[in-house]
A and B are shown apart, each in its own frame.
Chain A
Amino acid sequence: DTGVSQDPRHKITKRGQNVTFRCDPISEHNRLYWYRQTLGQGPEFLTYFQNEAQLEKSRLLSDRFSAERPKGSFSTLEIQRTEQGDSAMYLCASSPPIKTKQFNYGYTFGSGTRLTVV
Chain B
Amino acid sequence: TQLLEQSPQFLSIQEGENLTVYCNSSSVFSSLQWYRQEPGEGPVLLVTVVTGGEVKKLKRLTFQFGDARKDSSLHITAAQTGDTGLYLCAGGETGGFKTIFGAGTRLFVKA
Interchain nearest-CB distance for B86 vs A (Å)? 9
Given contacts A42-B101, A103-B31, A103-B50, contact A56 B96 (CB under 8 A): yes
Interface size on B, residues (CB 8 A): 26
B103 pairs with A48, CB closer than 8 A: no
Q: Does A28 contact B (CB under 8 A)?
A: no
Q: Does A106 contact B (CB under 8 A)?
A: yes
How far, in whole Å, are A112 and B86 apart by their CA atoms in the complex? 15
- Chain A residue numbers with a CB within 8 Å of B98 are 33, 45, 48, 56
Given contacts A93-B42, A112-B42, contact A31 B97 (CB under 8 A): yes
Q: Annotate B86-100 by CB proximity to A: 1 below 8 A, 0 otherwise.
A: 001010110011111
A103 pairs with B102, CB closer than 8 A: no
- With beta carbons under 8 angstroms apart, the residue of A45, A103, A107 that contacts B100 is A45
- Chain B residue numbers with a CB within 8 Å of A91 are 42-43
Q: Does B45 contact A (CB under 8 A)?
A: yes
A41 pairs with B96, CB closer than 8 A: no
Given contacts A109-B42, A109-B43, A111-B42, contact A104 B31 (CB under 8 A): yes
Whose C-beta in chain B lies nearest to the C-beta of A98?
B97
How far, in whole Å, are A44 and B101 apart by their CA atoms in the complex? 7
Number of residue pairs across A and B with beta carbons under 8 Å?
A: 65
- With beta carbons under 8 angstroms apart, the residue of A40, A43, A109 that contacts B44 is A109
Q: Annotate B5-35 by CB proximity to A: 1 below 8 A, 0 otherwise.
A: 0000000000000000000000000110101
- Chain A residues with CB under 8 Å of chain B are 4, 31, 33, 35, 40-45, 48, 56, 91, 93, 98, 103-112, 114
Instruction: Please name 29 pairs of A and B residues whose Cβ atoms are closer than 8 Å in the assembled complex, sorted by A.
Output: A4-B42, A33-B99, A35-B101, A41-B103, A42-B101, A43-B43, A45-B99, A48-B97, A56-B96, A56-B98, A91-B42, A91-B43, A103-B31, A103-B48, A104-B30, A104-B93, A104-B97, A104-B99, A105-B31, A105-B33, A105-B48, A106-B33, A106-B45, A106-B48, A106-B99, A107-B45, A108-B45, A111-B41, A112-B42
